[in-house]
Structure 1
Amino acid sequence: MSAGAGWGKSTLLVQRTEDLESDGVQVAWVTVPAHASAQSVWSSVLVALQERFAGSFPEAAAALGDLALPSARSTDEFVSALAGVLAGAAPIALVVDELQHAPADAVALLFRVVEEVGPETRFLFGTRWDPNVPLGRWQAQGMLHQVRGADLAFDEQETAAVLALHAAGIDDDVAVEVHRLTEGWPVAVALAGSALEHHTDPHLFVKEFATDTRPMADYLVTELFGDLGDELAQYLLDVCAPDEVTVDLALALTGRADGGAVLARWATTSAMVARYDHEPVTYRLHSLLRAYLRAEARRRDLPRWRRSNRIAAQWFADRGSLTPSLAAAGESHDWMLLTDLLERHGLELVMGGEIDAVRGALAALPHNDDATRLASRLEGVAAMLGGDLPGLRRSPPRLRPRTRGLRRLDGRSCSTWRARDWPVVDRHRSAPASRPRTHPASPTPTSRCSPTCARVVEARARRLPGSRERP
């Protein structure tokens, strides 16, 4: 069972132990403490087994008492002797929780015992990251059953049930938002429920949960950052700006050539980092961790945070990922960059259905005449595509269809409009050679906009004062 802190590994191990005992299986339990030595780990294992056998198998308990701790000379003899005792006392299960604290040599010897004994002896391991053992071979041989963070995560119904235990009467939309934010992480759901019990505004609480809730922040610092050095902590602060990060983007953000190895190692050792093996390989931090890191990055070094976002915005723009580019440019407070992105690509995004991203970017811009004109143009196009009559009446006059068309807009989608309802300048002639049409990579118009309407909208928007020609 491999998952990060707070995913319920120990709770599930307890439940599984109770099930085994009810089936007549004897269970010995060991929890490995932090900084344990190999000798102390094996001493704890032998004592736990000896105590379990004391009443039911006194011969096995006596044999374990006579068994010397493994040493360099007696490793093979120790494995054979322990496997023999366990085989004679089967069925037996050994639970080892917090296995990540055990030294590598103790773990290697423990898994030698696993391969030596028969199927009547079961081993249950709880760990925050995978040990260095042949998991693939064991899986293929039918010796292994794996449980990971995704298997332990709450679904929406379970999240709502946990929240209801703490705060009765929680709205369904609040429960859904808590599930989206926590991604089913059990400890985060429990902390959210406990805090909601004393909060007067659940919607505001959810919005601020990761960054402004002391219990959640304390848990993240204690459980996730306690073992990280300053160098790795700063690396995570630098790569948290985008929602998802590739190795190339991590290199651009941090300048570290070993960024791929760092991300891969963290994805292996923590359920808070997910790896997606499509091309290129992409990593994604858990949404709560990402929100906390972003707040911490702003608090520690605001200029560095903005520089990271400026790099991410340009990186995404160079690769045609316009929506994340807009979000990063807004966080960077580089208003020239954000305005340039909106001028060049705002119409593409609006016509591709990304109006919320465009509106968010427009809201981030400082209020001035240029920003107002830009917002008016893009909002006008959005109103056309959405059949929004009030929005159209607020848009620039040159973007509006004829009055006869406006009277037919109430309750209609843009796909019902005909080209003759628009001013005639672009209807019966093609664009001049000096003003080429949109490049072929432009997005397909949305389902609410016919191709004819899309061409007219784009032509009208290009001819507005201040609009830029596409390359």
Structure 2
Amino acid sequence: MSIQPTSSSTWCWIGKLTPPHTLLTSKVRETLLASLRQQPSPPLLLVVAPAGYGKTILLMQWRQELLARPALAHLAWLSLDEADAEPNRFLAYLILALERAGLELGPLSHLAATQSLDAQPLRTLSALLHALSHAEHPITLLLDDYHYVTCIEVDHIVCTLLEQATPRLNLIIASRTRPAWPLARWKTKGWVQEVSAHQLSLSEDETRSILGAHAQTSDVQHIHRTTEGWAVAVQLARLWRESHDGNVYGLGAFCGCVTDVADYLAEQVLGSLSPQCQLFLLETSLLERFNAELADAVRERTDSAQLLSQLSHLDALLMPLDAERQWFRYHGLLRDFWARGWARAKPGASTAPPPIGWRKPAIGYKPWPTP
């Protein structure tokens, strides 16, 4: 079913109800897709990884797989943003997405399109569950960028859908952070399958596919080693190769100080962090490996364990080295990025100063070699 914008639904951005358009060369994640095919479809497929690991691409490719199966071809897509943290706005878009997937919703569709839903979101949720219980076929709902929805009420809506609408509704959700849901309890029921940043990391062959068949083996190996399979960094390496600097210096010079990589880290990874977390990353960036106690000693503070907990969603860039998540190391590109922060701290540096409150660690650091 196709929804056309009307005078009563001018608030609605229809583009949120379809996968985003991309012009970048995307590698079909055949290994990941094969793994998804081989396992029974649980009520929730949760994809969690930092920015740039290909979460949206995986959802889009898995959506295409499901569309090819008649029994699973009733799909709803919703890309989320910060405004969707308001429960009734989230419900309105959710209703419009489910209507597109063929769910008969009666008056709910008009109420959603005109932003006239009940002031009590739970009443709307109850009506939605009633409609799902009478669905003629299962529906798969894909929610992209769930990390933008930091709202207890929206979390409650999604949890209720999972627990009460199964098996008429399956959820596929991508997020940069783990949602505050009872995931451990759901896992004991076999309701959850997770895809992590480690699983999303590109193999050397996938890196070669993005760089192109003409890329030299040594360059492919360097990019794969430098990016550690971080998909967006591989894409940026391919684009950088075509730039003036890339032509002059070659892929062997690609690192985290390349402008596009630094800008991406600043905007997409670090920009959403608190100043305290950013400062923590800078103050510990010269350590080869560290735990909370060592970070406290270096920083002359006592809050490192708390800050590491707040940074747990960056585990593909601030990598745990043991199962207990006590020891960590930095992704090489993030290390290169913070090297610029150290350069800015040098006396007489012409670039912008480091973050407010920054000071050189007192003890225990070991500078990284120059890239």
Out of 102, 105, 119, the residue aligned to residue 60 of structure 1 is 105
| Residues 53-104 of structure 1: CA deviation (Å, up to 9, x unaligned) | 2xxx5x43545446874655x62x4433322212322311111111111122
Q: What letter matches 2:140 in structure 1?
A: A
Please say which structure displays the higher CA radius of gyration.
1
Shift in CA distance, 69/284, structure 1 to aligned 2, threshold 3 Å: farther
Out of 89, 92, 97, the residue aligned to residue 40 of structure 1 is 89
Q: What letter matches 1:95 in structure 2?
A: L
Q: What letter matches 1:118 in structure 2?
A: T
Q: Is the counterpart of residue 124 in structure 1 residue 172 in structure 2? A: yes
Q: Is the counterpart of residue 218 in structure 1 residue 267 in structure 2? A: no
Q: Runs in 1 of length 4+ with deviation above 6 angstroms?
A: 302-306
C-alpha distance in 2 between matches for 1:46 and 1:219: 34
CA contact (8 A) 1:60 1:88 kept: no
Q: Is the counterpart of residue 31 in structure 1 residue 76 in structure 2? A: no
Equivalence for 1:457: none
- Structure with larger RCO (C-alpha < 8 A, sep 6+): 2
C-alpha distance in 1 between matches for 2:91 and 2:323: 42
Equivalence for 2:311: 266
CA contact (8 A) 1:210 1:288 kept: yes
Out of 32, 57, 60, the residue aligned to residue 11 of structure 1 is 57
Shift in CA distance, 280/126, structure 1 to aligned 2, threshold 3 Å: closer
Greater fraction helix: 1
TM-score, normalized by length of structure 1?
0.60
C-alpha distance in 2 between matches for 1:126 and 1:280: 23
- Cα shift at 1:306: 9.5
C-alpha distance in 2 between matches for 1:6 and 1:294: 21
C-alpha distance in 1 between matches for 2:139 and 2:324: 45
1:269-418 map, 5 Å: 271-277=316-322, 281-301=326-346, 307-308=360-361, 311-313=363-365, 328=366
1:133-212 map, 5 Å: 133-164=181-212, 169-198=214-243, 199-200=246-247, 205-211=251-257
Out of 251, 272, 288, the residue aligned to residue 227 of structure 1 is 272
- Cα shift at 1:133: 0.5
C-alpha distance in 1 between matches for 2:131 and 2:335: 49
C-alpha distance in 2 between matches for 1:288 and 1:117: 43
Equivalence for 2:148: 101
C-alpha distance in 2 between matches for 1:70 and 1:235: 45
- Cα shift at 1:179: 0.8
Shift in CA distance, 40/94, structure 1 to aligned 2, threshold 3 Å: same
Q: Aligned to 2:319, what secondary structure does the other structure show?
A: strand
- Cα shift at 1:301: 4.9
Q: What letter matches 2:162 in structure 1?
A: V
CA contact (8 A) 1:51 1:61 kept: no
Q: What letter matches 1:12 in structure 2?
A: L
Q: What letter matches 1:34 in structure 2?
A: E
CA contact (8 A) 1:63 1:85 kept: no
CA contact (8 A) 1:191 1:215 kept: yes
CA contact (8 A) 1:32 1:101 kept: yes
Q: Aligned to 1:96, what secondary structure does the other structure show?
A: strand
C-alpha distance in 1 between matches for 2:330 and 2:83: 28
- Cα shift at 1:120: 3.5
- Identity score, percent: 25
C-alpha distance in 2 between matches for 1:280 and 1:142: 25
C-alpha distance in 2 between matches for 1:86 and 1:301: 62
C-alpha distance in 2 between matches for 1:312 and 1:302: 22
C-alpha distance in 2 between matches for 1:124 and 1:109: 15
Q: What letter matches 2:322 in structure 1?
A: D
C-alpha distance in 2 between matches for 1:11 and 1:183: 18
C-alpha distance in 1 between matches for 2:87 and 2:126: 18
Shift in CA distance, 152/101, structure 1 to aligned 2, threshold 3 Å: same
- Cα shift at 1:278: 5.2
C-alpha distance in 1 between matches for 2:360 and 2:272: 27
| Residues 89-147 of structure 1: CA deviation (Å, up to 9, x unaligned) | 23111111111111222122211111001224211111110000111221221111111
Shift in CA distance, 217/63, structure 1 to aligned 2, threshold 3 Å: closer
C-alpha distance in 1 between matches for 2:274 and 2:324: 30
Gaps of 5+ in 2: 1-46, 349-353
Gaps of 5+ in 1: 314-327, 332-359, 364-471
Tell which deviates more after alignment, 141-150 or 78-87. 78-87
Q: Aligned to 1:312, what secondary structure does the other structure show?
A: coil
Tell which deviates more after alignment, 87-96 or 128-137. 87-96
C-alpha distance in 1 between matches for 2:324 and 2:61: 40
Tell which deviates more after alignment, 254-263 or 5-14. 254-263
TM-score, normalized by length of structure 2?
0.74
Q: What letter matches 1:249 in structure 2?
A: L
Shift in CA distance, 33/306, structure 1 to aligned 2, threshold 3 Å: closer
CA contact (8 A) 1:50 1:61 kept: no
- Cα shift at 1:269: 5.2
- Cα shift at 1:300: 3.5
Q: What letter matches 1:148 in structure 2?
A: S
